[in-house]
């Protein structure tokens, strides 16, 4: 049987101990964050006590940053880790972005000019929105009206260590110069970086496979294998039905928590960080591996349904819930209400909807949700 309790513990969901958002991000190495609100909730789930406002404030202070790392998507990362992670993973992200670079006629010459424009606009501690930077690029003769072209100009600036996230301007994101936002830090050799990332992944995500690690990190299979070889004595090897899993060496087995529930956000590390997500899906839920990339309900480490993020929370599943499970989900919903700063009295309306033919949902079923 797959050791769900061990993964729950390593993911810091069954025993949240962190006090600051940066501690959570540092533990994982990087946390997927293209859904900004959901990613803040993902950090809070691993903390003893956290509110939406507190995590937002930590981001605005620069204690956690948001940039493109690993795969070509947004991730939270700490200031002390951003440079060595970029050095290790940016080349692979650039390969993935290559087709769009070519499609939008973005080459080394264009990037050299666009980097210069961004530096001139941002230097002096400025924090500017995407729309302001777009105007600066256009004035300099670098076409930036196409949203995809602009996005790739900014992604390349992130990957080259020119810019990173600044504090939010209202609800808008800003960019800042990395050299001004982040203090200088000692560099790591490539093997040191491989060792560090590999150790953090299997400590925080294990049990996980080599393929899981390749998917999450964006590294080549050869690099991932080398990383495991470099830290192998600090990892435990577990074979389950002929599949090899790795996890950080643990002095004691994780204990299963009965009727513990969580409302996970979209792209939570518990689901998105693995190529094979099937081991944690409750077969009776009717969910697919694609379904679990959205907001999901988890009970005792198994994904049992989906939920919608609002004050009207509907839990949808292909299975029924016991009285004890409903109580656990209710507690999880109240924790989400506390995160949002809602009052305890009538803060959330929670309902459970059982959809028997989940894999073949009809329009009528969708309306009932």
Task: In whole angstroms, give the CA distance from residue 76 to residue 93.
Answer: 16
Structure tokens at 31: 């946390």
| Residue where the block lists tokens 């946390």 | 31
Tell whether 220 and 305 lie within a shared domain. no
The reply to whether 261 falls in a domain is no
Tell whether 250 and 313 lie within a shared domain. no
- Return per-residue pLDDT of the chain as tens, 369 residues: 789 999 999 999 998 999 999 999 999 999 999 999 999 999 999 999 999 999 999 999 999 999 999 989 999 999 999 999 999 999 999 999 999 999 999 999 999 999 999 999 999 999 999 999 999 999 999 999 999 999 999 999 999 999 999 999 999 999 999 999 998 888 899 999 999 999 999 999 999 999 999 999 999 999 999 999 999 889 999 899 899 999 987 755 555 555 699 999 999 999 999 999 999 999 999 999 999 999 999 999 999 999 987 667 889 898 999 999 999 999 999 999 999 988 654 567 888 887 654 444 433 333 322
Nearest to 85 by CA among 178, 211, 147: 178
The reply to whether 269 falls in a domain is no
Query: Average model confidence (pLDDT) for the chain?
Result: 91
Tell whether 127 and 7 lie within a shared domain. yes
Tell whether 229 and 112 lie within a shared domain. yes
The reply to whether 262 falls in a domain is no
Tell whether 312 and 212 lie within a shared domain. no
Task: In whole angstroms, give the CA distance from residue 70 to residue 216.
Answer: 7
The reply to whether 341 falls in a domain is yes
Q: Which of 205, 227, 256 is the last residue of a domain?
A: 256
The reply to whether 352 falls in a domain is yes
Task: In whole angstroms, give the CA distance from residue 35 to residue 38.
Answer: 5
Tell whether 80 and 204 lie within a shared domain. yes
What is the number of other CB atoms lying within 10 angstroms of the CB of residue 360? 9
Tell whether 303 and 364 lie within a shared domain. yes
Q: What's the confidence (pLDDT) of residue 363?
A: 36
Residue pair 175/165 in contact (Cβ under 8 Å)? The answer is yes
Structure tokens at 148: 């995809």
> What interhelical angle do 21-28 and 36-45 show, nearest 10?
90
* 330 alpha-carbon distance from chain centroid: 25
Domain count, the chain: 2
What is the number of other CB atoms lying within 10 angstroms of the CB of residue 132? 17
The reply to whether 284 falls in a domain is yes
Task: In whole angstroms, give the CA distance from residue 225 to residue 96.
Answer: 20
Distances (CA, A) of 186 to 81, 170, 173, 199: 10, 34, 28, 19
The tens digit of pLDDT for each residue in 330-368 reads: 999 999 999 998 865 456 788 888 765 444 443 333 332
Tell whether 302 and 249 lie within a shared domain. no
Task: In whole angstroms, give the CA distance from residue 312 to residue 26.
Answer: 33
Distances (CA, A) of 228 to 16, 47, 168: 27, 29, 38
Distances (CA, A) of 157 to 29, 55, 102, 209: 21, 26, 16, 32
Tell whether 7 and 123 lie within a shared domain. yes
Structure tokens at 18: 């962190």
Task: In whole angstroms, give the CA distance from residue 216 to residue 198.
Answer: 11
The tens digit of pLDDT for each residue in 311-322 reads: 678 898 989 999
Tell whether 193 and 62 lie within a shared domain. yes
The reply to whether 50 falls in a domain is yes
* Non-local CB neighbours of 78 within 8 Å, separated by 6+ positions: 22, 25, 26, 63, 64, 65
Report the C-alpha dihedral over residues 250, 253, 256, 257, rounded to 10 degrees.
Answer: -60
The reply to whether 272 falls in a domain is no
Q: Which of 193, 226, 256 is the last residue of a domain?
A: 256
CA gyration radius for the chain? Answer: 21
Tell whether 318 and 357 lie within a shared domain. yes
pTM for the full model?
A: 0.92
Q: Which domain holds residue 251?
A: 1-256
Tell whether 210 and 290 lie within a shared domain. no
Provide the 3-class DSSP secondary structure of residue 344.
coil
| Residue where the block lists tokens 């998917």 | 215
Distances (CA, A) of 140 to 120, 150, 307: 11, 14, 46
């Amino acid at each position: 049987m797959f050791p769900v309790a061990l993964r729950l513990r390593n993911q810091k969901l069954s025993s949240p101990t962190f006090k600051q958002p940066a501690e959570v991000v540092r533990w994982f190495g990087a946390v997927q964050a293209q859904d900004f609100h959901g990613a803040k909730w993902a950090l809070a789930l691993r903390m003893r006590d956290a509110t939406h406002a507190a995590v937002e404030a930590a981001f605005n202070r620069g204690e956690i940053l948001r940039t493109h790392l690993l795969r070509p998507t947004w991730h939270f990362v700490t200031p002390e880790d951003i440079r060595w992670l970029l050095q290790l993973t940016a080349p692979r992200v650039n390969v993935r972005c290559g087709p769009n670079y070519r499609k939008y006629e973005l080459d080394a010459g264009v990037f050299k000019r666009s980097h210069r424009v961004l530096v001139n606009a941002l230097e002096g501690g400025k924090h500017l929105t995407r729309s302001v930077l777009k105007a600066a690029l256009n004035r300099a003769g670098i076409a930036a009206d196409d949203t995809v072209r602009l996005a790739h100009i900014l992604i390349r600036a992130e990957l080259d260590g020119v810019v990173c996230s600044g504090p939010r301007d209202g609800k808008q994101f800003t960019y800042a110069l990395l050299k001004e936002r982040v203090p200088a830090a000692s560099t790591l050799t490539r093997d040191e970086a491989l060792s560090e990332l590999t150790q953090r992944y299997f400590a925080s995500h294990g049990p996980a496979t080599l393929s899981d690690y390749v998917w999450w990190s964006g590294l080549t299979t050869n690099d991932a294998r080398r990383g495991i070889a470099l830290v192998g004595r600090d990892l435990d090897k577990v074979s389950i039905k002929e599949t090899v899993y790795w996890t950080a060496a643990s002095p004691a087995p994780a204990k299963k928590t009965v009727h513990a529930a969580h409302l996970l956000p979209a792209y939570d590390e518990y689901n998105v960080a693995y190529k094979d997500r099937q081991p944690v899906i409750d077969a009776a839920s009717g969910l697919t591996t694609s379904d679990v990339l959205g907001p999901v309900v988890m009970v005792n480490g198994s994904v049992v349904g989906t939920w919608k993020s609002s004050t009207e929370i509907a839990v949808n599943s292909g299975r029924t819930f016991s009285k004890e499970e409903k109580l656990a989900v209710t507690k999880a919903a109240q924790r989400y209400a506390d995160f949002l700063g809602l009052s305890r009295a009538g803060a959330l309306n929670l309902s459970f909807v059982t959809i028997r033919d989940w894999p073949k949902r009809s329009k009528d079923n969708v309306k009932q949700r």
